[in-house]
């Protein structure tokens, strides 16, 4: 009898010791737990929270979801889930905890997607965290990589600025359950601009606005404004081709009766063809508008080709002058000998006519042709064609360079900022 009582007493003592030890370990664990861990334990997400179900509606209406785009594959989304709120005033242990961070795969996330994308890439949610405030407000950065098709205006290429619109919506649930709203951004916030730089474009502005409703769904419009960096095109295409064009113009200083000018023009024509092919491979292909860079190379190619053809014609004129052939065409005699190339003869005629009749008009004197040798007539025609080629080449070259300069100055206000 005494032995049995002694055994019962020992068992009770062991149980009491185990209870004391477990309570001590539990108290130490509670003391060692952080405020965030205590909040997560208090919320009991594994037992009392269903992440597949939407949160209670705000004020009896649909759940309000605020959307903003950070361009660099991040989409900021805010909403309120009262199931994740905790009362700090009623629990002293939760008094010092204002916010916690939870994995996205543990909570409900609104199905905000990009509409009509060409390609979309979403990343694993278990690697992303959502910030939860004490009042149940949730802020999450959803990571998406999307490829969209945008209509581009390439009139000012490579000094162009583009605007691309991206539309976000909740396709599964309409505005009766989820209302979308654009997140207001301060005017001085430049984190989007600095975080999305690359070597070809720079983002100058991102505007998020509530656009309209498509049937029963809200749509948020994100307009991304970006500017092309033109330095590569200026250094690689515009400046070298301008130097080649200047060489073509200075080629008129060579003697017209020699074959050096013709050889130089042919070499320049081949060089300009290479640059035109390079520009065609770089310039985006579209037929709605002709880029200013394409106009530039078209005019430059036309000037080079005109100079080459003109050099051939002038060279033939001097060849005929050397063979002392007569100018038999009345059109050539009328255009070049009596009008364009007859300036020296006209001056001589005027001086002779001043002695005889000073009242004779300049128009009648200009039609007077001094008898010259057949060889000199062909030289006069070649000189006239040469002068016309110089005037046309210089005028076209200056005009197309001014077009490039005016386009660059017009878009200078939207050039990429430097940081």
- Give φ, ψ of 197 to 5 degrees: -90, 145
- Give φ, ψ of 82 to 5 degrees: -65, -15
For residue range 325-351, list pLDDT tens digits in order: 777 777 777 777 765 444 444 434 434
Q: pLDDT band for 12, please (50, 70, 90 cuts).
A: low
Token representation of residue 101: 């961070």
Last residue of a domain, one of 229, 260, 276: 229
The closest of 224, 207, 204, 229 to 150, measured between CA atoms, is 224
Contact 92, 40 (CB under 8 A): no
Q: Is residue 142 part of a domain?
A: yes
Q: Which domain holds residue 254?
A: 232-324+373-414
Average pLDDT over residues 347-359: 43
pLDDT exceeds cutoff 60 at 237: yes
The pLDDT value given to residue 13? 59
- Give φ, ψ of 371 to 5 degrees: -70, 120
Contact 338, 366 (CB under 8 A): yes
Average pLDDT, the chain: 76
**Domain match, 88 and 164 both:** yes
Q: pLDDT band for 399, please (50, 70, 90 cuts).
A: very high
Q: Which residue has the tokens 């997560």?
A: 40
Q: pLDDT band for 29, please (50, 70, 90 cuts).
A: very low
106-120, 217-231, 335-349: lowest mean pLDDT where?
335-349
User: Three-state SS for 153?
Assistant: coil
**Domain match, 180 and 307 both:** no
**Domain match, 225 and 249 both:** no
**Domain match, 167 and 238 both:** no
Q: Is residue 333 part of a domain?
A: no
**Domain match, 224 and 261 both:** no
Average pLDDT over residues 250-258: 85
For residue range 40-70, list pLDDT tens digits in order: 777 777 777 877 787 877 766 788 887 777 6
Q: pLDDT band for 214, please (50, 70, 90 cuts).
A: low
Contact 169, 116 (CB under 8 A): no
pTM assigned to the model: 0.68
């Amino acid at each position: 009898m005494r032995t049995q009582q002694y055994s019962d007493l020992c068992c009770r003592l062991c149980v009491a010791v185990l209870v004391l030890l477990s309570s001590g370990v539990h108290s130490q664990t509670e003391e060692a737990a952080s405020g965030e861990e205590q909040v997560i334990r208090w919320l009991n997400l594994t037992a009392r929270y269903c992440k597949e179900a939407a949160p209670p509606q705000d004020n009896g209406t649909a759940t309000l979801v605020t959307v903003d785009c950070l361009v660099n594959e991040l989409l900021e989304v805010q909403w309120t889930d009262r199931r994740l709120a905790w009362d700090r005033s009623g629990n002293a242990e939760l008094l010092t905890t204002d916010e916690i961070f939870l994995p996205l795969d543990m909570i409900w996330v609104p199905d905000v997607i990009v509409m009509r994308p060409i390609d979309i890439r979403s990343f694993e949610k278990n690697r992303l965290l959502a910030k939860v405030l004490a009042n149940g407000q949730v802020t999450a950065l959803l990571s998406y990589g999307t490829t969209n098709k945008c209509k581009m205006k390439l009139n000012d290429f490579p000094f162009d600025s583009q605007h691309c619109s991206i539309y976000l919506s909740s396709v599964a649930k309409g505005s009766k359950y989820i209302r979308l709203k654009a997140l207001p951004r301060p005017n001085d916030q430049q984190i989007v601009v600095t975080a999305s730089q690359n070597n070809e474009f720079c983002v100058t502005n991102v505007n998020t606005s509530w656009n309209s409703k498509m049937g029963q769904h809200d749509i948020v419009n994100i307009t991304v404004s970006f500017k092309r960096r033109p330095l590569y095109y200026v250094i690689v295409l515009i400046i070298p081709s301008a130097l080649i064009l200047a060489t073509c113009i200075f080629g008129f200083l060579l003697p017209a009766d020699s074959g050096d000018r013709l050889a130089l023009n042919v070499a320049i024509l081949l060089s300009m063809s290479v640059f035109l092919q390079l520009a065609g491979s770089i310039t985006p292909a579209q037929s709605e508008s002709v880029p200013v860079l394409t106009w530039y190379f078209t005019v430059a190619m036309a000037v080079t080709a005109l100079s080459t053809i003109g050099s051939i014609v002038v060279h033939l004129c001097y060849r005929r002058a050397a063979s002392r052939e007569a100018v038999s065409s009345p059109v050539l005699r009328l255009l070049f000998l009596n009008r364009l190339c007859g300036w020296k003869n006209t001056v001589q005629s005027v001086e002779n006519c001043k002695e005889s009749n000073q009242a004779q008009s300049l128009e009648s004197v200009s039609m007077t042709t001094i008898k010259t040798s057949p060889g000199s007539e062909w030289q006069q025609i070649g000189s006239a064609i040469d002068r016309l080629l110089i005037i046309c080449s210089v005028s076209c070259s200056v005009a197309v360079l001014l077009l490039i300069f005016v386009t660059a100055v017009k878009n200078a206000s939207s050039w990429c900022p430097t940081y």
